[in-house]
Amino acid sequence: MIRKDNAPQNLSQLKRIVMNLIGADKTDTAKTSLRLKRKRAAWNDDIRMKMLGIHPL
């Protein structure tokens, strides 16, 4: 349950980190909104891995 103890603060901090990572992403050269970048990352594993700097073997 996310309404108990420290869960709301933890989730808020995690969301802030993710939004900063998405905003700092330079792999997408097209000028797109954070909302669209977030959706693309949710839909496509490859895009998400590029944003995080993970290179599959």
- In a domain, residue 38? The reply is yes
- pTM above the 0.75 mark? no
Are 38 and 22 in contact by the 8 Å Cβ rule? The answer is yes
Nearest residue to 37 via CA among 53, 51, 52? 51
- In a domain, residue 37? The reply is yes
- In a domain, residue 13? The reply is yes
- In a domain, residue 57? The reply is no
- In a domain, residue 34? The reply is yes
**Which residue range(s) make up the domain with 37?**
7-52
The more confident residue out of 50 and 29 is: 50
Residue 42's pLDDT band, with cuts at 50, 70 and 90, is very high
- In a domain, residue 15? The reply is yes
- In a domain, residue 18? The reply is yes
pLDDT of residue 8: 92
The contacts of residue 40 (CB under 8 Å, 6+ apart) are 28, 32, 47
Q: How many domains does the chain have?
A: 1
Mean pLDDT of 18-47: 88
- In a domain, residue 2? The reply is no
Could you read off the pLDDT of 10-28 as tens digits, one per residue?
A: 999 999 999 998 888 887 7
Q: How far apart are CA 38 and CA 19, in angstroms?
A: 8
